[in-house]
Amino acid sequence: SPETSDSLPESPEIQLEFLGPKPGDEVRIVKSKSGDKLMRTIMLDNKIELYATYGKLMNCGGGGSCGTCIVEIIQGKELLNERRNTEFRYLKNKPETWRLACQTIVGDKENSGKVI
């Protein structure tokens, strides 16, 4: 007879690999439920450095009004939401790989994969 399971199917997960700004910096790997959190929240929850010196003192707390939480997406940008109007304003002349962590939703509740 076939086995039955009462457990719910697992939610898709996104694996995030955070590289420091300098060669040789520690690489941090964390997982997050797809579509559940902003990149900023994931980084702060896992004590991953997000802000440079100025940003530590003068960030807007995730409101999208300062532009100090810029991250570069090396791989997996298709697993993130599209740029929002706030990002278009702060990143107008910047590479498409740059995102504001406070505006970037990781996953869409259905996809899974890896973001670097």
In the predicted model, what is the mean pLDDT of the chain? 90
Domain architecture of the chain: domains with CATH:
13-100 (3.10.20.30)
Q: Is the pLDDT of residue 6 over 80?
A: no
| pLDDT bucket at 51, cuts 50 / 70 / 90 | confident
Phi, psi of 80 (to 5 degrees): -115, 160
Per residue in 20-39, pLDDT (tens digit) is 888 888 899 999 999 999 99
**Which of 70, 115, 114 has the alpha carbon at shortest distance from 96?**
70
Task: Output the pTM of the full model.
Answer: 0.86
- Report how far residue 113's alpha carbon sits from residue 34's, in angstroms, rounded to the nearest whole number: 9
Give the tokens for residue 24.
């040789």
